[in-house]
Chains A and B, each alone.
Chain A
Amino acid sequence: MTSPFSRGFRGRPRSAAAAGRLPPGQYETRDFPVLSAGPTPRISLATWDFTLLGPGGQTARWTWDEFQALHREPVTADIHCVTKWSKLGTVWEGVSVDTLLADAAPRDVRPAPYMLAVCDGDYTTNLPLADVTGGKAWVALSYGGEPLAPEHGGPARLLVPHLYFWKSAKWVRQLHFLEPDQPGFWESHGYHNYGDPWREQRYAGDE
């Protein structure tokens, strides 16, 4: 349907800089809002570990110290939250999922067409393998040059900036490679299974 004008609504001055970088329905914010479904988990780095789980049950596990030794990359990306805010040019550092898979390959952990990220606090989110490999996804350990704060997902969160930010799961601990696809937390609570901000795939049923 054609949207009727909202009498008296002008909106903010249009920002030329943000114009091409804001997906439909998004607005630019300069802060970093926090959104999560429950209490922030507090995790001791002494017991923290990270696990890749292959479709046949094979596992590769890293302690915190082992994980620190993996190759890290700087990532600068625009991020888009389904609640409408976007933050441009965010700066992260993380271990790419490609690096994790390469490190796990000798341990016979192989990928499958889908991935389910499993987190402290019972949160999960699902992504196609093609969206987490080829330099598109990282396990981020720092934001803005500082270790990741707990309310922003520290010590480690998934970073998949080309999809709505709920896919960038906070407090991530395990990546399960599996088939068939298995909906995660928000994907089971009315949100879109894939979540492409440029196609405005916010909610289940959005095309």
Chain B
Amino acid sequence: MNRAPPPSSPAAASTLRPTARSIAWRLATVADTVRETPRARTLVLDVPGWPGHRAGQHLDVRLTAEDGYQAQRSYSIASAPEDARVVLTVERLEDGEVSPYLTDELRVGDRLELRGPIGGHFVWDVAIGGPLLLVGGGSGIVPLMAMLRHRAAALGTADADARHHVPARLLYSSRSWNEVIYRDELARLVEHDSALEVALTLTREQPQGWAGLRRRIDRMMLAEVAWPPAERPHVFVCGSTPLVEAVAAALVELGHDPARVKTERFGPTGGSP
């Protein structure tokens, strides 16, 4: 019953390099920042020499204080591989050491050390195919957004056939309407793409007249939103540990193959991912 990971996995094939060179630290410059929600900010970075990445991968950020003290954290990459700049979206953790600096202090023109891309498991590209089921909570949307942006960029908006060949659904849980990261961009993507469906659930507070979902993601919600297991969707789940535990367990109970359910978790103070 114990099997090794499938050796044919494209990620394994592309990342297993016994003689790999070290992933170098690079100096990025903040080109732009975007306030996404009260707690989340997007950083648009110029990274000379960036080697490219796959949607779903992350990178390490390193900060250096004047006394030489350094702190490192990992952040998911939000941009598509097709994008010219590397984009992060960071959520401020109230007792965080690094995230408040990135969401509140860092300014355009500041420099930031980073290295990546990292991770060869929680990745998706159009060559892997669909259906693509994305389930996220809070800032867990970030690597999933990279996948949606990649899908849109790789398939274009003109070729409806290509998009319908790789249909995608996103189920995204936020506390409130104001905390939905990428809200406007998600609406735009859906508007131009009939093979993309986005379901938002707002767990704590809903705007007046909200007709959408309003509870934490559960098995019944997944049964309604997800493709049936027979369609063999590629599933990516990212969010807090309780969300990921609940979603992944429910998907397996519904009959989805655990090997097709990929997860990434972050704890409230355990750092990201």
Give complex CA distance A188, B122 in Å.
Answer: 13
Task: Report yes or no: B241 in contact with A34, Cβ–Cβ below 8 A.
Answer: yes
Task: Report yes or no: B119 in contact with A83, Cβ–Cβ below 8 A.
Answer: no
Contact of A33 among B17, B101, B271 (CB under 8 A): B271
- The DSSP consensus for interface residues of chain A is loop
B256 CB to closest chain A CB (Å) equals 9
Task: Report yes or no: B105 in contact with A8, Cβ–Cβ below 8 A.
Answer: yes
Give complex CA distance A183, B251 in Å.
Answer: 29
Q: Which of A89-97, A134-142, A199-207 contacts B (4 or more CB under 8 A)?
A: A199-207
Q: Which of A65-73, A98-106, A120-128, A153-161 contacts B (4 or more CB under 8 A)?
A: A120-128
B 225-256 contacts with A by CB, 8 A = 241, 245, 248-249, 251-252
A62 CB to closest chain B CB (Å) equals 15
Task: Report yes or no: B269 in contact with A9, Cβ–Cβ below 8 A.
Answer: no
Task: Report yes or no: B113 in contact with A4, Cβ–Cβ below 8 A.
Answer: yes
B39 contacts the other chain (CB 8 A): no
Give complex CA distance A118, B3 in Å.
Answer: 8
Contact of B64 among A4, A121, A188, A202 (CB under 8 A): A4
How many B residues are at the interface, by size bracket? Answer: 35 or more
Contact indicator per residue, chain A 105-137, by CB within 8 Å of chain B (1) or not (0)? 000000000000011111110000000000000
Task: Report yes or no: B63 in contact with A11, Cβ–Cβ below 8 A.
Answer: yes
| A35 (CB) vs chain B CBs: closest residue | B265
Q: Size of chain A's interface in residues, with CB distance under 8 A?
A: 54
B 140-168 contacts with A by CB, 8 A = none
B208 contacts the other chain (CB 8 A): no
B97 CB to closest chain A CB (Å) equals 5
A196 contacts the other chain (CB 8 A): no
Task: Report yes or no: B21 in contact with A205, Cβ–Cβ below 8 A.
Answer: yes
| A83 (CB) vs chain B CBs: closest residue | B74
| B116 (CB) vs chain A CBs: closest residue | A203
Chain B residues with Cβ below 8 Å from A38 are 248, 258-259, 261-263
B69 contacts the other chain (CB 8 A): yes
A141 CB to closest chain B CB (Å) equals 19
Chain A residues with Cβ below 8 Å from B11 are 189
B64 CB to closest chain A CB (Å) equals 4
Give complex CA distance A207, B20 in Å.
Answer: 10
Give complex CA distance A124, B119 in Å.
Answer: 16
Task: Report yes or no: A25 in contact with B70, Cβ–Cβ below 8 A.
Answer: yes
Task: Report yes or no: A37 in contact with B245, Cβ–Cβ below 8 A.
Answer: no
A168 contacts the other chain (CB 8 A): no
Q: Which of B22-30, B174-182, B197-205 contacts A (4 or more CB under 8 A)?
A: B22-30
Task: Report yes or no: A203 in contact with B118, Cβ–Cβ below 8 A.
Answer: yes
Task: Report yes or no: A204 in contact with B258, Cβ–Cβ below 8 A.
Answer: no
Task: Report yes or no: A8 in contact with B101, Cβ–Cβ below 8 A.
Answer: yes
B243 CB to closest chain A CB (Å) equals 11
The 18 listed contacts between A and B (C-beta, < 8 Å) are A3-B62, A3-B70, A6-B101, A9-B63, A9-B64, A11-B69, A12-B71, A34-B270, A39-B249, A83-B74, A83-B271, A122-B259, A173-B2, A183-B16, A188-B15, A189-B12, A190-B15, A207-B22
Task: Give 8 closest A-B pairs by Cβ, nearest first.
Answer: A33-B270, A189-B120, A39-B248, A33-B267, A204-B20, A205-B20, A205-B22, A6-B63
A3-B113, A36-B263, A174-B2 known, 15 other contacts, Cβ within 8 Å:
A6-B101, A7-B105, A9-B64, A12-B71, A29-B271, A38-B248, A83-B74, A83-B273, A85-B271, A119-B2, A120-B1, A121-B258, A124-B5, A185-B5, A190-B118
